[in-house]
Amino acid sequence: MSIPSPLDHNTTFLASGGARGITAAAVIKLALTYSCKFILLGRTALTGDPPAWAEDEQDEATLKQLIFEQLQAQREASTPVKVQAVYRSLTTQRDIRATLNAIEQAGGKAEYLSVDVTDAIALKQTLQPCLERWGPITGMIHGAGNLADKRIEKKTEQDFERVYAPKVVGLDNLLQSVVPEQLRYLVLFSSVAGFYGNAGQTDYAIANEILNKTAHWMQPRYPNCHTVAINWGPWDSGMVSPALQRAFAERGIETIPLAVGTQMMMDELSPDHREAQVVIGSPLTMPAIKVSDALRTYHLRRKLQLAANPFLFDHVIAGQPVLPATCAIAWMVHACEQLYPGYQFVQLQQFKILKGIIFNEHLADEYQLDIVETGKQNGIALATKIWSRTPTGQPRYHFSAQIQLQSHSPDVPTDPTLAVTVSPEPEQGLYQQGALSLFHGPMFQGVNAVLDASPHRLIARCCVEPLSDRQQGQFPVYTINPYIADVQSHSLWIWTQRFCEQGCLPAGMRQYEQFRSIPFHQNFYVSCRIKSQTGTAVVADVITHDSYGNLYNRMLDAKGTKLPLNQLATQEKPSSTAQQSAPC
């Protein structure tokens, strides 16, 4: 990847929304550091010097009183709406002048143009004389944007257009107004709302996610341009009122101090930072909904299809595609979280595999998930059960578990005894290489090395390659990643094969706790501690952690049923067009 020309006094930035707010703070920081030149764009027209009676007044209430008196003296309408309009115009123009002055004092140069970036013709006409004076645009900061926060069912087409157009249409018009090949820096002010989503901001999330995708599209096509979409969290600026600060604090959302945010933007423009998209800010977690004291019951139904779930072709036991137990866990957990916005899964207890789901001629027409509230003293406790009906109408139970939701994330525990210092080479023959290997196909082949194995424990290094949306089918990754969770259990299966010369299938577990998620394509470690065994069963704690001993999750008293190895042998594999994953 090419390194763009360094920032200096010859760099000319075109900055939409750059005369006010956080974009203004960013350009002032650039001027202080590099003495750049700036063409600032905004919709507000500068109408000359401010009136003498308003020039030095900063208090909002006093200034509005002065506006009221002036309107009355001029025999104009002095309604609250009119007063607010004049106040907004005066303060906006004041902010613009302050930004221009700050840039000049910092050693940069700036010019302000009043134009709507959503009007392509007006933008080109307004920019042209300025470009003749300033020369080519070599940097761009797109910070223009609007909000119209409402629940989706209350949004109008006009609401959507008001939010979408400045971000998306505005960016397209800006790129059409310059020569993209001359750009050396393109900074798109996106939002964590586009990355995480946020209640009431569907349109804002869509618009910002398009900025993110544009950055990914631009970067390989214009390698001489340093392109980055910064997904900002909320800033600690004038737009965040004390009431909003308290609301953010209740949701665990930290605001970004102005000085910290501008410096982080500068860091992203350094040659060492070349990611097309970065997230700077806390996740926008939903505030927990209020729940009634009454205990409720829910019944959810869904149809399952083999063709809709390509991953099943890599989870075949004795010739039959079988739903991984971890997919059932993910199904139950995600359904519970969807019912209670703002609450998240922290613990599962008494998970039982009653009768697994096999994708053959006995696959049911419909499966039902029952969710029963059992308590609300410490979060929300739920009893869940997946079942179907036999062809004769009899209930057939597949999986059950007790699930605990809470409104806050658990602390991440650390166990120094789990720290890993060795880095062995990947092992061959762990999967589909005879009786003493695992039956799993490429999508589930995540164990790449056994670091230690004894009669009492097994430690494995794992890494799972990403599965596409199509491969994940009806079981996409949310809070629980069922594909990585399945790989975690392979440590117990490997131990059983090596020390008992038997196969093993999951039967359930007493407790599962999740502290944080494991990304695809990242090494993690599984420490399997054997607690007891009989001729037909084995019980272990399966703890998943990083190399420092920081836990991701733990399965306590995970039980496996021992079976003769030939009972797990994969016979003729069902045909599949599923793509195979490359090894980590």
What are the pLDDT digits (tens) for 355-397?
A: 999 999 999 999 999 999 999 988 999 999 999 999 999 999 9
Q: What is the pLDDT of residue 475?
A: 97
The contacts of residue 369 (CB under 8 Å, 6+ apart) are 299, 300, 301, 302, 331, 332, 335, 384, 385, 386
Cα dihedral sign for 562, 566, 567, 570? Answer: positive
Runs of H (alpha helix) within 222-324 = 242-250, 258-268
**Is residue 122 packed enough to be buried (19+ CB in 10 Å), middle (13-18) or exposed (0-12)?**
middle
N-terminal to C-terminal alpha carbon distance within the chain: 24
Residue located via tokens 């790129």: 175
Using CA atoms in the order 232, 207, 519, 301, what is the torsion angle rounded to 10 degrees?
Answer: 130
Tally of CB atoms within 10 A around 570: 15
Distance CA 564, CA 501 (A): 8
Q: What angle do CA 286, 287, 291 make, to 5 degrees?
A: 115
- Provide the strand spans (E) within 515-568: 524-533, 537-545, 551-563
Specify whether the CB–CB gap between 454 and 298 falls below 8 A: no
Distance CA 156, CA 153 (A): 8
The contacts of residue 389 (CB under 8 Å, 6+ apart) are 364, 366, 395, 396
Task: Convert 564-578 into a string of H (helix), E (strand) and C (coil).
Answer: CHHHHCCCCCCCCCC
Structure tokens at 475: 């079981």
* Whether this model's pTM surpasses 0.75: no
Question: What are the phi and psi torsion angles at 381 (to 5°)?
Answer: -100, 135
Question: What are the phi and psi torsion angles at 120 (to 5°)?
Answer: -60, -45
Map out the domains of the chain with their CATH numbers. Answer: 12-47+92-280 (3.40.50.720), 297-406 (3.10.129.10), 418-568 (3.10.129.120)
What is the DSSP annotation of 127-146? Answer: HHHHHHHH----EEEE----
Q: What is the pLDDT of residue 1?
A: 54
Distance CA 343, CA 349 (A): 17
CA dist list (Å): 382 to 41, 356, 457, 460: 53, 21, 33, 33
Residue located via tokens 């980590």: 584
Residue located via tokens 């007006």: 122
* Each residue's pLDDT expressed in tens, for the chain with a length of 584 residues: 556 668 988 999 999 997 888 999 999 999 999 999 999 999 998 887 778 887 777 778 888 888 888 888 888 888 888 888 888 888 888 999 999 999 999 999 999 999 999 999 999 999 999 999 999 999 999 999 988 888 888 999 999 999 999 999 999 999 999 999 999 999 999 998 888 887 788 999 999 999 999 999 999 999 999 999 999 988 887 556 566 666 666 666 788 999 999 999 999 999 888 899 999 987 776 667 788 889 999 999 999 999 999 999 999 998 999 999 999 999 999 999 999 988 999 999 999 999 999 999 999 999 999 999 999 988 999 999 999 999 999 999 999 999 999 988 889 999 999 999 888 888 888 999 887 889 999 999 999 999 999 999 999 999 999 999 999 999 999 999 999 999 999 999 999 999 999 999 999 999 999 999 999 999 999 999 999 999 999 999 999 999 999 999 999 999 999 998 877 765 455 554 433 333 45
